[in-house]
Amino acid sequence: MKLYLMRHGQAVNAMENVQRPLSQSGRLEAENIAKQFRTQKIKLREIWSSPLKRAAETAGIVAECCGVSGPKITHGLLPDDPPAGVEEKIICFAAERKNGPLLIVSHLPLVACLLRNLAGAKGFADAEFPPARVFGLEYNGRCWTAAGSFTPEL
């Protein structure tokens, strides 16, 4: 199963809007990432998103551009949520739908913790997670391995 971890696109400053929706750049980043999924012929099966506006908007843009229903607002994807709960949900998803691929759109520090916990030193130990960056992982039933990454090309 393939898993993609994505940090939301650039958001407006909290002083501009406390809900922090995507900025115009953030919208373009999300569209560009969706284009890269299509170009690489990655057919996402499901998209999970944090309920926060910037992540939900990012996930919505990717879903619409890639023809995926959703996204599914998922409990446990807030910035400071513990990664263990999400890791368990991912393993259950892999067990039920081995073909994936699953995209999770969330925030720092959670996406970095998930990446580190799942892949560890097997590829992304010191990875940076700027807005809209995507890291791919592959699960073989026993362990996760690095499966590439991409960033918006603006």
The rounded distance, in Å, linking the Cα atoms of 37 and 42 is: 5
pLDDT in tens, 12-70: 998 899 899 999 999 999 999 999 999 999 999 999 999 999 999 999 999 999 999 98
Report the CATH number at residue 43.
Answer: 3.40.50.1240
Identify the residue with better confidence: 1 or 124.
1
Q: What average pLDDT score do residues 72-80 get?
A: 96
Question: 102 has which bridge partners?
Answer: 3, 46
The residue segments making up the domain with residue 103 are: 2-150
Q: Phi then psi for 115, rounded to 5 degrees?
A: -60, -45
Reduced to 3 states (helix: H, G, I; strand: E, B; else coil), residue 105 is strand
pLDDT confidence of residue 126: 61
Which of 91 and 31 is assigned the larger pLDDT? 31
Please list, in sequence order, all residues whose beta carbon lies within 8 angstroms of the beta carbon of residue 17, skipping any fewer than 6 positions away.
none
**Per-residue pLDDT averaged across 98-107, rounded?**
88
- Asked if the model's pLDDT at residue 150 lies above 90, the reply is yes
What domain count does the chain have? 1
pTM: 0.94
* Alpha carbon 48 to chain centroid, angstroms: 8
At 134 the pLDDT is 97
Query: Ramachandran region of residue 92, left (φ > 0), alpha (ψ -120 to 50) or beta?
Result: alpha
| Helix boundaries (H) for the chain | 24-39, 53-66, 83-96, 110-119
Secondary structure of residue 43 in the 3-state scheme: coil
Look at residues 154, 118, 151, 153 and name the one whose alpha carbon lies nearest to residue 6. 151
CA 37-68-43 angle, to 5 degrees, is: 40
